[in-house]
């Protein structure tokens, strides 16, 4: 697709370092709790709910962590471009390229739950343009396509 773009994908410690840098650059603090939440999210190969992350962080810290606290941190991560929310699953995925701002298109497998994100600025730009033409401002496209991944089909 002509509207696609590519970025440097981070993983492992490199992803955590990129996330920390992006959050600090945005004027926020990288606290131990935020680091634990991001690490728990980044270690997942599928979208995770705030409850999933709270459970993982609770085990890591050996004390109960409330899902409400995790929700607040995840909301900050979404605002700061460190995570993406998969709306239809009420779950989150770590953004593997936190320095790049764009609108994602999620492909979600109905069988195994795998989520793949693709970028197509031409498509999301057309959606934003249509919304603006209809009088909407500050639009954020949420595009999710459900189906079967290659492994499951």
Report domain 12-94's class: mainly alpha
The band of 11, judged by pLDDT with boundaries at 50, 70 and 90, is low
Distance in angstroms (rounded) separating the CA atoms of residues 65 and 68: 9
Q: Which CATH number among 3.30.70.890, 3.30.1490.190, 3.40.50.1820, 3.30.56.10 corresponds to the domain 104-147? A: 3.30.1490.190
pLDDT at 9 over 70: no
Chain-centre distance for alpha carbon 134 = 28
105 bridge partner residues = 118, 143
Please say whether the beta carbons of 8 and 97 come within 8 A.
yes
pLDDT (tens digit, 9 = 90+) per residue, 56-93? 999 999 999 999 999 999 999 998 989 989 988 889 99
104-147 has the same fold as 12-94:
no
Q: Which of 126, 41, 136, 44 is nearest to 80 (CA)?
A: 41
Residue spans per domain, the chain: 12-94, 104-147
The pTM of this model reads 0.80
């Amino acid at each position: 697709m002509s509207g696609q773009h590519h970025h440097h994908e981070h993983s492992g410690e490199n992803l955590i370092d990129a996330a920390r840098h992006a959050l600090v650059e945005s004027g926020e603090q990288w606290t131990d709790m935020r680091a634990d939440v991001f690490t728990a999210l980044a270690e997942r190969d599928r979208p995770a709910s705030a409850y999933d992350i709270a459970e993982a962080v609770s085990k890591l810290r050996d004390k109960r962590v409330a899902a409400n606290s995790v929700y607040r941190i995840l909301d900050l991560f979404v605002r700061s471009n460190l995570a993406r929310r998969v709306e239809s699953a009420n779950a989150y995925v770590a953004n593997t390229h936190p320095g790049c701002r764009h609108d994602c298109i999620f492909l979600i497998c109905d069988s195994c739950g795998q989520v793949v994100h693709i970028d197509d600025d031409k498509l999301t730009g057309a959606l934003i343009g249509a919304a603006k033409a209809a009088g909407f401002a500050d639009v954020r496209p949420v595009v999710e396509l459900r189906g079967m991944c290659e492994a499951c089909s």
